[in-house]
Structures are given as structure tokens and as C-alpha cells.
Amino acid sequence: MTSPRRDDPAASPKWWRYLRFWGTNVRAEVDDEISFHLEELVGYHVARGVPPDEARRIATERFGDRDHIALAMRTLATQRETAMQRTEWLDSMRRDLRYAVRQLAKRPAFTFVALITLALGIGSNTAIFSAVNAVLLHPVATTDVDRIMVVRTNLPTMNLMNEDVGPGEALDLMARRDLFDASGAWAGRSGVITEIGDPRRVTVARTMGQFFDVFHVVPALGRFYRPDESEPGKERVVVLSYGLWRELGADRSLIGKSITLSGVRHEVVGVAPESFDYPRGTQLYAPIAMTAQYAQNRGQLIWNLVGRMKTGISRRQFDAGILSEQQRWHRDLHYGDKQFLSVVPLVTMIAGQLRPALLVLLGAVGVVLLIACANIASLQLVHGTARTRELAVRAALGAGRGMIVRQLLVENLVLSVAGGLIGLGVGAVILKLMSAAGASQMPALSDVHLSGPALLFTAAATLVAGGLFGLLPALRAGRVDVQEALKDGAGGASLGGRRSRLLHTSVVIQVALTLVLVVGSGLMIRSLRALLSQNPGFSAEHVITMKMTVTGPRYQQSGSLTNFYNQLLGSFTGMKELGPIGFVSELPFSGDNDSSPFRVIGRATDPSLPAMHANLHTIGGDYFKAMRIPLLRGRTFDKTDAATPDQATWVCIIDETLAKTYFPNEDPIGKRINQGPDATIVGIVGTVSQGELGEPPKATVYYPYTQHAWYSNMYVVTRTTLPTATVVSRVRGAIRAIDPNIPLFSTQTLDERIAGSLAPRRLAMIVLTGLAALSLGLAVFGLYGVISYAVSQRTREFGIRLALGARPTDVQSMVLRQGVMLALAGVVLGLSGAFIATRALSNLLFGVSTRDPFTFIVGPVVLATVAVAASYLPARRATKTNPLDALRST
Amino acid sequence: MAPDRPTVDLLQGSLDVIVLQTLSWQPMHGFGIARWIQRVTDDVFQIEEGTLYPALYKMENKGWVKGEWRVTENNRRAKYYRLTAAGKKRLAEESRTWSLFAGAMAKIMTAAAAPA
């Protein structure tokens, strides 16, 4: 404030108070009040005979520091203004909300369909987005996960694709410090911890290199072991997973203590952080004892090589580096193909089969969201038109365009938020279904929760949806010609030509998108049927499988394992009720596999060709009988194939695939192969699927447990009609009788294991089919709504037609024709869309072309039928038009 | 704003009661309130404008009084304050407290003998 005004209170400019027109002007009011007070005070003194100048001086002096008082008053007044505005805003918001809810409740059908549509679109998107986020984008708790690469082996001539690498390759690649910031490798094992409580089976990751450094993880307790602890003699250290540490009592003093892992004492040096779960489910990490001989081993494909790409190098440079290493091996060591390794990002590797399934579902929910938006848009168009009169009345009563727009926006916001909330519930249900469908095979899915980013995504989708479908009708409503709308009698305003075209377009789009989903899910169903009808080479019915791990100090000596298995088979012979029973080191569909190189003795090998590989299975008892794997030639193993150090008498059985592939023109019986030790082929059995139904068959060699006597993990397999629990307790009893420390676990029927291997496909099929069914429902609602609306608009026309002698069936077919034409347009558009979209499914399909004629015929027929059904009710209503009523109603 | 002295707080509290009591007769503007108090207390209480107006604004924020712009008998615009329902309630509470306090003070000041 300037000093002249202080001397003369009346000097505050008059225009100032006009600012009040734009709301309360705090400054002017305070000023006015003080000026009034001072003037009264001057008047008071003047009335008592004081000269005016003197009176003014006394008043100013008595009043005190005007600026200071005014400031205090302004501050207080501003506080009051703000509080009042807030209250007013809240009040009007509450009024708008109440009005919106009332309006929505007045139109229950519209509200119901809109809510369902929104909930579905938002819920399915949130669920799939959460799953994609957790499984595909952030599968491991680490930084810059995209820089972590996995190196895989591909030997297409042997049907070996995406396999692990051999120890020699892993060591050579890990030495390339120009390619990696850090690199390591792991091989999964299982072991048994004894001497801390009950014997406990644990999943062990044997590692080499700087395994933990790859992931930038810090131990929760203690330390991680160093790369040099792989040297023989130093390797007896372990790191516990956080989960195992907790199971063992969460005792900090465990660090530095020793535990017995599979009969060997190891020192606990550290505990991994709780968030670190790679390889998934690992409970214990231990370095591998690396001997010079093992380091030379190439071709035993059991090592997962993971590495963080060197900072600053590109993926292309990295791939070139990996290639140059292979070329060096080929040139200098005469080993391997010029290129048999591939680089895969870790995130892709972990997601595995889930990746294509989730990506397809991501596309599908995107389509559902589009359908939902189209549906909401057409609902709004139809109902917005019907409401034109209501809005016109409000406009006539003085509601401004802004008010009407705001009210409609609030209405849509209410709808969107409510739909979003229900959608979160829908999303949770979808996630639950997904993890239930895939939990056995895909543990990754079981701990996916609706995530924060997904919630944000939902919120954004909700608001955008609200804005999108709220804005258009609101703007249109604001433009309503009041007079026209009111003049137009009971029927309300009708859609103009442009608007009904918009409406029709939206229905056509819904039908088209729905067809894409229907065709996609049809292909998935057909593909799954085709897979299930594949013959795996064995009969899975009534086969119960269990896993045992035979470890402990007493199995260190040679022959001790064989003794255990001998005893076990001996006790099995006394349990005839169990049916044929045997065991195998790698059971089909168990996820285990051991692919090893072999050569045929007496046959020259060409070093420029990749080594021949075959699955290596060690079996005992009546394994073939239990699995019903047919013996094609020769004999199965018998008592004569006993343990003997003389490898000249060692035997093996090969499968048909190996026989046909590697002995095309000769009789393999009697030939000798080397896959470790030498062995003579004594029989040929049928080929079985190992990991997946319908996969190209892989060559397999079977060895008797008596000669290949170093396998401590075995699956017990029996074909029986007894209940699973009975079988397990008998087998467990037999094992306990020999050694109470041997755990028996992972009980599953073979059918369950096969079903598990199909889980990603089944999951994609179930979710896709569900989405297609729901979309079909939405499209029916959409079509029904539009046709009903069209009928209601043409009531007069139908009345005139009927009055002029048209038959009801004529009117009915007119309406039906409109529905069918819309549906047909949608089907034509949808078919072309499906032709393109189903290509994305090709990774998930089996035995069915992406253009499967059956599906491409049934899908459109289903949609067309549904469209006719949806148009039928309104068409019937049209025939019921009473000509007189229709004509009178104007 | 107000200097941090305990007497100010006391004054502030009593000023509120005084103003509320003043307004209980009829709505008045700030100058009128000050004059009325001066007159009733025979000039014992000299109300300072520096505390009166902020006190009025605070009471308005609390909802005890409500300010309205009106025209005076001399045809001038002035802000009149009137007591609200909340203000009346507040005044009743305050005057009860004051009578208690005044009565107790009177007993102390007029006590005949020293305590036994």
C-alpha cells in the first residue's frame, strides 16, 4: 500500500470495489471496512468540536498500524473464502453425483450393460497386463534385466533345439570378458539335507562363474561364494535361499556352520535375498567341483549359461562375439558346427511357452477393450438420443451448456469408476483362473497379483473410456436445438443419417472384432484336440509316478546305489497288486531331460558335423511294461545284464527313431555305441514323446541301472488301478524299509504330467474362449440394442405399412434383414481381420492351419446365427405394432 | 501477528465474550461495537482496533458471527456483524464460565479471615 492512501482512507480507487463482480474481493472489503471505521472516528471527534484536521490525526494515530491490521484481516478473510469455495465445490460435486446416480438408476438396462461392458474390458486388460508385467517384463528381481542373456544350443539335425550348453562351451564363453560384465552358469539338481531335523529334499543349483554378480544381488546374510571356490577341494560351500533359511529356523548363526548335503558336509557361507528366485524354486546354491577333465567336456548339455552383456556393447556385437567363439572352436578344435549357439534374452527364456500364450492374450484383451468401447459408444448414441428431450427441457429451464456437459461427464465418470471397480474384481477372478489353469506347469503365474502399474493402467483406461464416450454425446447434447427437441412429440428426437451410420459402424466393428476372437479361440480348441489325440508312444492311463532321491553318505561307495535299487525291486516283486512297476531316471513329461552326444563304434566321425545326440535314460524293473512302450525287436533288459566292470558286456536298448535315423540301412542289434561307456544294442523299443505332445521325436537310448549305476534321482512308475494314496504309501513303505532317509515326492499321474505340459496352450485356449464368449455376449447386446432402437424409431412407418396392407411377416423380415446385413458386414470385415490376426497364433497351434477352413466356416455361422437371434425379438415386436396407435401417437 | 504475551491471550479471550455479548442486543458494525463498549464501561475499556477487527474476522471464520454489508442511517455502506446460532451457544457457555470466575474472585477478595 502506498502512503497517500494511508493518510487519506477515502483515496482507495473506486473501480477497485467493482472487482467484486468476479467474486468476493477481499482486499477491497477490508479496505472499505477500515475506511468506514476511520471516517466514523473522525466524525465522532468533529462532533465534539475538534477541528477536522486534528480529528483526522487523532483517528489515524488511535487506529494504529493500518497496514498491519489490514494484512491480518485479509489473511483471515482469505482463509474463510477458500474454505467456503471448497465447501461449495464439494456440495455441487455431491449434488452432481447424486443426480448422476439417480439418472443411471432410472435406466437400469443401460446402466447394467454399460457396467458389465466396462468391467469386462477393464478387468480382462488389468489381469493380462499384470500377468505380462510379472511374467514377461520383470521375471527376476534384478536391475536392467534386458541386458541379461542366455546362450542356448540348437542342433536342428538332431531335433535338439533350445537346449542347455556343455561345460566346455560354458567355460570358454565365460572367459570372454569382452562380452560380459559378469557371467555364470547353473545346472539344476536335487539333493537331500540331513542332520538338521528330518531329511529334507532340496532343489539345488550347482553354479560356476560369477553367477550372483550377473543379477547384481547382495546376500541377505553372509557372503556369496567366489568363482575360485569351484576349484576341487574348495567347493564345499553353499548359499541358502531365503525361503530355505527360514524353513531351517531363520537362525543367523547358521552362517559358518556346516550342513550335510547329499551325504557331503558343506559350509553355509550366506543367504540369498528374499526377492531373488532364480532359477525359480532353487533352495540351495553350491559351486560345481570343476575338474580339468570335466572342463574339457563338450556336448553334455546341462548348463544354463547366463550373462550380463558388457556395458556399452550392443546386442549385435554380443551375438557376433558368441559367433566368433564358435568359429574358433570349429577351426582350432574341430568341434561343432560353425554356428550352433543362439542368444536369447533371459526374460524370453524364463517365460518360455507362456510368452506366445500371454502375447496372444494381450492382443485378445486389447480387442475386448475395443469391443467394449464400441459397445459403450453405441449405447451412448442410442440413449443419448433418447435423452435429448430431457436435456432440452433442462436447457429450456435455464441449465447452461456447461452445466449439461458437466453433468453428463459426471454421469460417465460415475459409470467408469464403478465399472473400473467391478473390473478389478473381474481381473482378480481372471488371474485366479489363470493360475489355477497353469499352476502345475507354470509356477510363474501362481504369484501374479494385480500389480500397481496395472492398477494405474486400469485407472487410466477407466478415465479415458469415461472421457471418450462421455464427451461425444455431452457435446452433442449441448448443441441440441431446444425448440426442435420439444416440438418433436413423444418419440423424442431421432438419429440423423450421420448418427445412425455411426451406430451401424459401431455394431459392424463389434461383430468383426468378436469374429476375430471366436475364430482365434476356435483354432486353439481345435489345436488342443489335435494335440491330445497325438499318440505319445506309451499309454498314460492308470500310470502313477513318484520321484525318489537316493543320496546319503552310504551311497558314496560304488555298487551301493545298485544294491538299493536291487532291494527295492525285490520288495516290489512281493507287491503284485501294484501291477507292472519300474523306474526311470528321466520320465517323459517331467521336465527332466539328459541329452548327450554319442558315437557308433567302428564308424568314422566327421568332425565338421555336429555330434549325434540322444536322450539318455537309465531304467530298472518293468519300466517298459508299466508304460506300455512296445518292444519292436530284440529283447529288454534281464538278469544277465548285471553290474560288471567289463564294459564289453554292457548293453543298451535304442528307440525306433534312433534306429531309423542313425542305422537306416543296417540292423542295429549287436552294434556298439558309446555315450559315456560303450554298450551293445540288444533291443529296439517304440519312440515316446519326451517333453511335449506332437513334438518331433528325439532319439533315445535306455541303459540298465545295474551298469549305469550312478543315477540317484529316479521316477518310480507303476500301472495300477489302486488309489494313488494307497500306491504311494506302499512304495514309501518299501523304500523306508531299506533306508528311512530317502524321500519320495512329486506324486502325479502320468495323465496329469501330460496335461501340465499343455498348460500354456490350455491357458491360452481357456482365456481366449472365455473372452470370445463374453465378446459374443457384448456384440449380441449391441446388435439387439441397435435393432430395437431402429424398430422404435420406425414405429410410425411400420404402422402405415401395416395399415396399407403389409403382412406382419413382411415387416418382420424387413427388420431381420437389417440385422443380418449389419452382421454380414461385420462377418466380412471380421474374416479379413481374422486372416491377419490368427497368424499371431501360429506358435501356439498344432495340427491346425491358421486358416483352418472348418473354424473359418463355423465361426461366421455362429455369429450370423446369433445376429439373427438378436434381431428376432425386435422384429417380433415390430409385427405387433398396432397401426392405429402408431399413427395416433404423434 | 499479536505479540507473544500471556496477557494478550487473556485479553483475546475476554474480548471475544465482550464482543459476543455486545452483538447479542443487535447487529452492529465494528465502530459501533467499539463505541458501545466504551460507553457501557464508562470508558474503562478502550477497545483497540488492532485487536477488534482480527478478533471479529476470527469469530466469523469460526461461524460465531456473520458479516453483512448494509447501509447505515447516514446512508453509508458498513459491514454489520450479527450473532449466529453457534455464536449464541458460545456466548451462553462463556457467560457461565465468567459468572463462576467472577463469583469465586469476589469470595476471595471479600474473605474475612486467614485460613486456619
Q: Report, as an integer, the average pLDDT of A642-657.
A: 88
The DSSP result for B72-112, as a single string, is -TTS-EEEEEEE-HHHHHHHHHHHHHHHHHHHHHHHHHT--
Mutate to test the interface with A, among B49, B59, B77, B81 (most CBs of A within 10 A): B49
Q: Report, as an integer, the average pLDDT of A801-818.
A: 86
Least confident of A103-107, A171-175, A206-210: A103-107
Confidence grade of residue A716 (pLDDT, cut at 50, 70, 90): very high
Least confident of A24-28, A499-503, A583-587, B60-64: A499-503
What pLDDT digit, counting tens, does each position of A490-546 carry? Answer: 444 455 566 677 788 888 988 999 999 999 999 989 988 888 888 888 998 999 999
Other beta carbons less than 10 A from residue A311's beta carbon = 8
CA of A59: which chain B residue's CA is closest? B49
Confidence grade of residue A439 (pLDDT, cut at 50, 70, 90): low
Q: Does the beta carbon of B70 lie under 8 angstroms from any beta carbon of chain A?
A: no
Cell numbers that stand for A352 in this block: 518360455
Other beta carbons less than 10 A from residue A17's beta carbon = 16
Q: Does the beta carbon of A36 lie under 8 angstroms from any beta carbon of chain B?
A: yes
User: Cα separations (Å) of A291 from A209, A594, A821, A841?
Assistant: 14, 20, 76, 46
- Report the C-alpha gap between A561 and A308 in whole angstroms: 40
pLDDT greater than 70 at residue A553 = yes
Portion of chain A with pLDDT greater than 70, in percent? 89
Confidence grade of residue A135 (pLDDT, cut at 50, 70, 90): confident
Shortest alpha-carbon distance between residue A64 and chain B (Å) = 7
Minimal CA–CA distance to A517: which of A870, A843, A831?
A831
- Report the C-alpha gap between A687 and A183 in whole angstroms: 38
- Rounded to two decimals, the pTM is 0.69
Q: Report, as an integer, the average pLDDT of A280-302.
A: 84
Write out chain B residues lying below 8 Å of A73, CB-based: 53-54, 57
A33/B53 Cβ within 8 A: yes
Write out chain A residues lying below 8 Å of B78, CB-based: 33, 36
Q: Does the beta carbon of A77 lie under 8 angstroms from any beta carbon of chain B?
A: yes
Q: How many beta-carbon contacts under 8 Å exist across A and B?
A: 54
What pLDDT digit, counting tens, does each position of A38-78 carry? Answer: 998 899 889 988 899 999 998 888 888 888 889 999 999 88
Write out chain A residues lying below 8 Å of B60, CB-based: 76, 80
* Confidence (pLDDT) at B7: 36
Confidence grade of residue A774 (pLDDT, cut at 50, 70, 90): confident
- Kindly report the length of chain B: 116
Q: Report, as an integer, the average pLDDT of A68-93.
A: 88
A37/B30 Cβ within 8 A: yes
Gyration radius (Cα) of chain A, Å: 39
- Report the C-alpha gap between A229 and A239 in whole angstroms: 12
pLDDT greater than 90 at residue B42 = no
* Confidence (pLDDT) at B46: 73
Confidence grade of residue B87 (pLDDT, cut at 50, 70, 90): very high
Q: Report, as an integer, the average pLDDT of A635-656.
A: 88
3-state secondary structure A731-759: HHHHHHHHCCCCCEEEEEEHHHHHHHHCH
pLDDT greater than 70 at residue A440 = no
Nearest to A36 among B31, B54, B61 (CB): B31
Minimal CA–CA distance to A718: which of A602, A551, A544?
A544
The answer to whether B23 and B80 have CB atoms below 8 angstroms apart is no
Q: Report, as an integer, the average pLDDT of A557-573.
A: 90
- Report the C-alpha gap between A806 and A801 in whole angstroms: 5
A36/B54 Cβ within 8 A: no
Residues with Cβ within 8 Å of A835's Cβ and at least 6 positions away in sequence, in order, are A851
Q: How do the domains of chain A map onto residue ranges?
A: 3-98, 107-139+355-493, 167-297+299-335, 499-532+758-890, 551-741
What pLDDT digit, counting tens, does each position of A664-698 carry? Answer: 989 999 999 988 788 999 999 999 988 778 778 88
CA A294 distance to own-chain centroid? 39
Residue B7 phi/psi, 5-degree rounding, is -65, -30
B58/A37 Cβ within 8 A: no
More confident residue, A542 or A25: A542
What pLDDT digit, counting tens, does each position of A756-772 carry? Answer: 888 778 888 888 888 89
The DSSP result for A425-437, as a single string, is HHHHHHHHHHHHH
For A75-84, letters b (16+ CB in 10 Å) and e give ebbeebeeee
pLDDT greater than 70 at residue A88 = yes
Mean of the per-residue pLDDT values for chain A?
83
* Confidence (pLDDT) at A523: 92
CA of A41: which chain B residue's CA is closest? B31
Shortest alpha-carbon distance between residue A26 and chain B (Å) = 12
Interface of B with A in 84-113 (CB under 8 A): none
Shortest alpha-carbon distance between residue A10 and chain B (Å) = 13
B1/A33 Cβ within 8 A: no
Confidence grade of residue A11 (pLDDT, cut at 50, 70, 90): very low
* Confidence (pLDDT) at A2: 37
Gyration radius (Cα) of chain B, Å: 17
Mutate to test the interface with B, among A38, A71, A75, A80 (most CBs of B within 10 A): A80
CA of A82: which chain B residue's CA is closest? B61
Write out chain B residues lying below 8 Å of A76, CB-based: 54, 57-58, 60-61
Q: Does the beta carbon of B43 lie under 8 angstroms from any beta carbon of chain A?
A: no
Shortest alpha-carbon distance between residue B54 and chain A (Å) = 5
B76/A72 Cβ within 8 A: no
A65/B57 Cβ within 8 A: no
Please state whether the peptide bond connecting residue A279 to the residue before it is cis, i.e. omega within 30 degrees of 0: yes
* Confidence (pLDDT) at A5: 39
B53/A69 Cβ within 8 A: yes
More confident residue, A533 or A584: A584
Minimal CA–CA distance to A543: which of A724, A290, A763, A787?
A724
**Helical H segments across A488-580, by residue range:** 497-532, 560-573
- The strand pairing partners of A653, in sequence order, are A683, A702
pLDDT greater than 90 at residue A454 = no
Portion of chain A with pLDDT greater than 90, in percent? 27
Q: Does the beta carbon of B30 lie under 8 angstroms from any beta carbon of chain A?
A: yes
State whether residue A493 is helix, strand or coil.
Answer: coil
Cell numbers that stand for A299 in this block: 556336448
Q: Does the beta carbon of A576 lie under 8 angstroms from any beta carbon of chain B?
A: no
Confidence grade of residue B13 (pLDDT, cut at 50, 70, 90): low
CA angle A704/A708/A709 to nearest 5° reads 110
CA angle A593/A596/A598 to nearest 5° reads 145
Minimal CA–CA distance to A656: which of A680, A683, A674?
A683
Cell numbers that stand for A243 in this block: 525361503
Q: Report, as an integer, the average pLDDT of B15-38.
A: 89
Q: Does the beta carbon of A44 lie under 8 angstroms from any beta carbon of chain B?
A: yes
Shortest alpha-carbon distance between residue B52 and chain A (Å) = 10
- Report the C-alpha gap between A491 and A890 in whole angstroms: 8
Q: Report, as an integer, the average pLDDT of A812-827.
A: 89
Q: Which amino acid is at A244?
A: L
Write out chain B residues lying below 8 Å of A39, CB-based: 76
Confidence grade of residue A309 (pLDDT, cut at 50, 70, 90): very high
Q: Report, as an integer, the average pLDDT of A701-730.
A: 91
More confident residue, A548 or B45: A548
What pLDDT digit, counting tens, does each position of A320-377 carry? Answer: 999 999 999 888 877 767 788 999 999 888 877 778 888 888 888 888 888 887 887 7
Interface of A with B in 79-108 (CB under 8 A): 79-80, 83
User: Cα separations (Å) of A221 from A208, A238, A267, A840?
Assistant: 21, 12, 14, 46
Confidence grade of residue A144 (pLDDT, cut at 50, 70, 90): confident
Write out chain B residues lying below 8 Å of A29, CB-based: 79
Q: Report, as an integer, the average pLDDT of A655-671.
A: 92
Write out chain B residues lying below 8 Å of A25, CB-based: none
B29/A76 Cβ within 8 A: no
Q: Does the beta carbon of B79 lie under 8 angstroms from any beta carbon of chain A?
A: yes
Confidence grade of residue A703 (pLDDT, cut at 50, 70, 90): very high
Cell numbers that stand for B13 in this block: 479471550
Q: State the first-to-last Cα distance of chain B, in angstroms, to the nearest integer.
A: 47
* Confidence (pLDDT) at A106: 85
Write out chain B residues lying below 8 Å of A79, CB-based: 61
Write out chain A residues lying below 8 Å of B31, CB-based: 36-37, 40-41
More confident residue, A439 or A257: A257
Write out chain B residues lying below 8 Å of A36, CB-based: 29, 31, 76-79
Write out chain A residues lying below 8 Å of B30, CB-based: 33, 37
CA of A36: which chain B residue's CA is closest? B78
The answer to whether A683 and A633 have CB atoms below 8 angstroms apart is yes
Q: Report, as an integer, the average pLDDT of A815-844.
A: 89
Minimal CA–CA distance to A338: which of A351, A348, A323?
A323
Shortest alpha-carbon distance between residue A69 and chain B (Å) = 6
Residue with cell 550342513: A259
pLDDT greater than 90 at residue B95 = no
Q: Report, as an integer, the average pLDDT of A276-300.
A: 84
- Report the C-alpha gap between B81 and B79 in whole angstroms: 7
- Answer yes or no: is the ipTM higher than 0.90: no
Confidence grade of residue A655 (pLDDT, cut at 50, 70, 90): very high
CA of A29: which chain B residue's CA is closest? B79
- The strand pairing partners of A633, in sequence order, are A684
Minimal CA–CA distance to A867: which of A740, A802, A792, A778?
A778
pLDDT greater than 70 at residue B2 = no
Q: Report, as an integer, the average pLDDT of A645-672.
A: 91
The answer to whether A811 and A791 have CB atoms below 8 angstroms apart is no
Shortest alpha-carbon distance between residue A76 and chain B (Å) = 6
* Domains, in order of start, for chain B: 6-109 (1.10.10.10)
The answer to whether A352 and A161 have CB atoms below 8 angstroms apart is no
Confidence grade of residue B80 (pLDDT, cut at 50, 70, 90): very high
Nearest to A65 among B50, B57, B78 (CB): B50
Write out chain A residues lying below 8 Å of B58, CB-based: 76
pLDDT greater than 80 at residue A881 = no
Nearest to A33 among B1, B48, B79 (CB): B79
Minimal CA–CA distance to B90: which of B16, B8, B36?
B16
What pLDDT digit, counting tens, does each position of A146-181 carry? Answer: 899 999 988 777 667 888 888 888 999 999 999 999
Q: Does the beta carbon of B39 lie under 8 angstroms from any beta carbon of chain A?
A: no
* Confidence (pLDDT) at A785: 81
State whether residue A813 is helix, strand or coil.
Answer: helix
Cell numbers that stand for A447 in this block: 504369484
Confidence grade of residue A110 (pLDDT, cut at 50, 70, 90): confident
Nearest to A36 among B57, B61, B76 (CB): B76
Shortest alpha-carbon distance between residue B58 and chain A (Å) = 7
| DSSP symbol at A664 | T
